[in-house]
Amino acid sequence: MKYFQLSITLFFCLIASTQVWSKHIIGGDMQYTCMGNGVYRVTLKIYRDCRPQEQAASLDGASNDPQGGAFIAIYRGRGVNLQIVERLTVPLVGQQFVSAPDYPCLIPPDNLCVEEGTYEFDFEIDNWPSTDPYHIVYQRCCRNNTITNIVDPGDVGATYEISISPESQALCNNSPVFKGFPPTVVCVDADISFDHSAIDEEGDSLVYSFCHPLIGGGLAGGPDDITGNPFSCNGVRPGPPCPPPFDRVTFKSPYTYDAPMAGSPVVSLDAETGLISGSPMVIGQFVMAVCVQEYRDGVLLSEIKRDFQFNVADCDPTVFAQVKSDARVGEKSFVINSCGNNTVLFENESQLEQFISTYRWDFMINGSLQQFNTRDAEVTFPGVGEYRGVMMVNPGLDCGDTADVFVNLYPSINADFSFDYDTCTAGFTTFTDLSETGGDRLTDWKWSFGEGGTSEMANPRYRYPIPGDHQVTLTVRDNNECVDSITYPIAYFPVPEIIVVEPTSFVGCSPGVVTFQNLSSPIDSTYTIDWDFGDGGSSGRVSPTHTFETPGRFSVAVDITSPIGCNISESFDSWIEIKPSPTSEFTFSPEEPSSFRPTVEFFNQSFNFVGQEWIFGMEGRSLEVDPVHTFSDTGRYEVALVAIHENGCRDTSVQVIDILPLVTYHMPNAFTPNGDGQNDVFRGKGFTDGIRDFQLTIWDRWGGLLFETDNPEEAWTGARNNTGEVLPNGVYVYQVKYVDPRGEPVAYRGFATLIK
């Protein structure tokens, strides 16, 4: 396993290295990304209470990881067979404050402070993918001692860990990543609705649940235990962190890991969406953990866990008076326009409804006050004119607000139009506006012709580019800003005024492939289209492609019928000319050329041709009828022969010529190491260019290795390892192994007779 230190620019200025950057652990999580080839990037996020130490009732021993880094341990295996494979000190690479939630009815505590610290590192799994899981562990003391729902919170820390399963390794899977951190403060007796879901980039199935927060570290080595070891499993800063299994925090009754907060309804977690909802009833700090299991095709790939605390506070509610309106004048004035209707329904959109107990609407009409004490109000006005009122929420209470309401009653407006067009022949459709208004005049027309076309003219003409059942909508506006719309259907299925066809070519060589691009408009696949290509072929496609197999001149005809029976046809006489083509064929000799026989003779077997061109890949070209070519190297070459007809038409045939890379390596059966200069050494001979992983070994008859070399040119002198005295006369065994130039392994053995 290899460890890669990341160098990342910090986004925030860190404090001096002699200081710490936070005090109490209040949450954290860990996730990983598969970078490929067994390399994983692990991200650890730790959330801490960063209030001044005297406010946070801090334990000095709990001063958390400075810029020096966090202690990380990586374990491999299962159960009791765990093995530590890495001990890392990972630097802090990112730091930022977590913003307090902006609740409409909440004034957060002035001393609230939460910081997020990010640690990140890469590591590599040996022999990846492994059949063993890997466990990455971080541990630290301590938690806030004011936590409500667990026993002795100030005496224990937290464990943040994640496992990379064999199943996840096999798929180079990435763990899910939580979207956002929970709100730092929630209101007592108010609804919680927090999306605690995660993102999985592979689209795997995610299942959410409350789970057990884990213990990690303790007071050893802190101010209450001066003689303890702060790096032990129960120390302030375990180094290395201890392996699984991990102890769980102990919840105070009546709290449990899956019901960590009191509430009505009880705070719960949706297993499918990750939504945390409920209404907490008790003020305090509550630790909980959310686990996300990742499944693919029913197989569990990974699980991530976030351990965090909710701060439940008493909130000062405020509300905002709002009315559904057509316009606003400033923040608190709402304008409602009614056209042709003296009865107006006022819809209340005030925020937040759970903090609003009473509503009141006041309108002064003809000198008389009309009052309504309902959330929405329906008011009938005497006629066209301008009216004013107010809407109040929680009138007379601290959490109240008021909005001004301005009402404009205008005369009615009615949209209408007519249209005219030729149903069988494509052309313009004429639209005539028939709209009426009780106001002074119409000011705006907006036409939507149903297939994307638009106009702002009062009486437009429009030519549809495509057929279809089009829904045409006219929207009109008058000088009072009154608006009305109406929609009529138009069944538009004419045939084109003229048939326009554009072939890809008019002259070609057999077999000739021609695409007939039908540019006639309007037509689509709902029309019946019959093509006759003059050679017995036909098609019903809008723009068909046809292959003319034989030479000649061909007339093409097309007939178009719309879905409502309109028809048009056209014939193009002697339109397409197809010329005769040659047939390209060739043979070659030898049939298996090689590095020893790289010269190849080619024989032109083409028909109906007057000229030719040979193309030997990057090796060159030839205009000879039967050329001879010597290839410069071994390998596979595409050789093409272009046969040329007297009319210029061409045909090309291609064959692959494989120049085999041959290797010859032969061993003698005896040698005489007597120093007479003849046959003194045992060495193979042959052509060995291109071989690799060569190995020659010599053995005695008892299986003892006497000589070994990876150089095919190196010889055995008859001595052990070519040093010392020559071995006795006898028969010795040799073995040769190598990989040939095509990657095929070669191995053989024989006997070497040593004669002095």
Q: In angstroms, rounded to a whole number, what is the distance separating the alpha carbons of residues 62 and 157?
A: 9
Q: In angstroms, rounded to a whole number, what is the distance separating the alpha carbons of residues 581 and 695?
A: 57
> Could you give the 3-state DSSP secondary structure of residue 53?
helix
**Reported CATH class of domain 664-754:** mainly beta
- Name the nearest CA neighbour of 682 among 730, 635, 641: 730
Q: Which residues contact 425 (CB under 8 A, 6 or more apart)?
A: 494, 495, 497, 566
Q: What is the pLDDT of residue 16?
A: 25
Q: Apex CA 421: angle with CA 418 and CA 427, to 5°?
A: 135
Phi then psi for residue 41, to 5 deg, are -105, 120
627 C-beta neighbours (distance < 10 Å), count: 19
Distances, alpha carbon 201 to alpha carbons 163, 198, 204, 474, in Å: 18, 10, 8, 45
Distances, alpha carbon 711 to alpha carbons 622, 663, 714, 716, 727, in Å: 42, 15, 5, 11, 22
Kindly report the CATH number that applies to the domain delimited by 413-492.
Answer: 2.60.40.10
Q: What is the pLDDT of residue 210?
A: 96
Phi then psi for residue 96, to 5 deg, are -155, 160
Q: In angstroms, rounded to a whole number, what is the distance separating the alpha carbons of residues 333 and 390?
A: 9
Structure-block tokens of residue 665: 């390596």
Is the peptide bond preceding residue 245 cis, with omega within 30 degrees of 0? yes
Q: In angstroms, rounded to a whole number, what is the distance separating the alpha carbons of residues 472 and 277?
A: 46
Residue with tokens 């977690």: 269
Q: Which residues contact 58 (CB under 8 A, 6 or more apart)?
A: 23, 24
Q: What number of H helices and E strands is found in the chain? A: 2, 57
Rg of the chain over Cα atoms, rounded to whole angstroms, equals 44
Q: What is the pLDDT of residue 21?
A: 28
Q: In angstroms, rounded to a whole number, what is the distance separating the alpha carbons of residues 630 and 608?
A: 28
The pLDDT tens digits of the residues spanning 84-105 come to: 999 999 999 999 988 877 665 5
Q: Which residues contact 419 (CB under 8 A, 6 or more apart)?
A: 429, 430, 431, 432, 472, 488, 490
Phi then psi for residue 61, to 5 deg, are -65, -15
Phi then psi for residue 60, to 5 deg, are -55, -35
> Could you give the 3-state DSSP secondary structure of residue 261?
coil
Q: What is the pLDDT of residue 1?
A: 47
Is the peptide bond preceding residue 494 cis, with omega within 30 degrees of 0? no
> Could you give the 3-state DSSP secondary structure of residue 166?
helix
Is the peptide bond preceding residue 673 cis, with omega within 30 degrees of 0? no
Q: In angstroms, rounded to a whole number, what is the distance separating the alpha carbons of residues 713 and 476?
A: 96
Structure-block tokens of residue 736: 């040769």
The pLDDT tens digits of the residues spanning 115-167 come to: 899 999 999 999 999 999 999 999 998 888 889 999 998 888 999 999 999 99
Q: In angstroms, rounded to a whole number, what is the distance separating the alpha carbons of residues 349 and 327?
A: 14
Q: What is the pLDDT of residue 7?
A: 28
Q: In angstroms, rounded to a whole number, what is the distance separating the alpha carbons of residues 33 and 40?
A: 6
CA dihedral (543, 548, 554, 555) in degrees, to 10, reads -20
- Name the nearest CA neighbour of 552 among 511, 591, 524: 511
Burial (CB count within 10 angstroms: exposed 0-12, middle 13-18, buried 19+), residue 386: exposed
Q: Split the chain (756 residues) into runs of 10 and give each run's mean pLDDT.
A: 32 26 73 96 92 42 53 94 94 88 58 86 95 96 88 91 96 95 84 92 96 92 78 90 95 93 88 94 92 96 94 76 91 92 93 85 90 94 93 84 94 96 93 95 97 96 94 96 95 94 95 95 93 96 96 96 94 95 96 93 95 94 96 93 94 95 91 91 90 94 93 94 93 94 92 92
> Taking a C-beta distance cutoff of 8 angstroms, is the pair 251, 257 a contact?
yes
Burial 531-567 (b: 16+ CB within 10 A, else e): bbbbbeeebeebbbebebeebeebebbbebebeeebe
Q: In angstroms, rounded to a whole number, what is the distance separating the alpha carbons of residues 508 and 229?
A: 90
Q: What is the pTM of this model?
A: 0.45
Q: What is the pLDDT of residue 52?
A: 61
Structure-block tokens of residue 160: 């943040």
Q: What is the pLDDT of residue 104?
A: 53
Q: Is 84 left (phi over 0), alpha (psi -120 to 50) or beta?
A: beta
Question: What CATH architecture is 501-579?
Answer: Sandwich (2.60)
What residues are paired with 264 via a beta bridge? Answer: none
**Reported CATH class of domain 586-659:** mainly beta
What residues are paired with 490 via a beta bridge? Answer: 470
> Could you give the 3-state DSSP secondary structure of residue 237?
coil
Q: Given this chain, do its domains 501-579 and 664-754 carry the same CATH topology? A: yes
Q: In angstroms, rounded to a whole number, what is the distance separating the alpha carbons of residues 137 and 32?
A: 12
Q: What is the pLDDT of residue 229?
A: 86
**Fold of the 327-410 domain:** Immunoglobulin-like (2.60.40)
Q: What is the pLDDT of residue 576?
A: 96
- Name the nearest CA neighbour of 413 among 382, 388, 444: 444
- Name the nearest CA neighbour of 586 among 601, 561, 605: 605
Residue spans of the domains in the chain: they are 23-313, 327-410, 413-492, 501-579, 586-659, 664-754
CA dihedral (603, 609, 615, 621) in degrees, to 10, reads 90
Q: In angstroms, rounded to a whole number, what is the distance separating the alpha carbons of residues 476 and 414?
A: 8
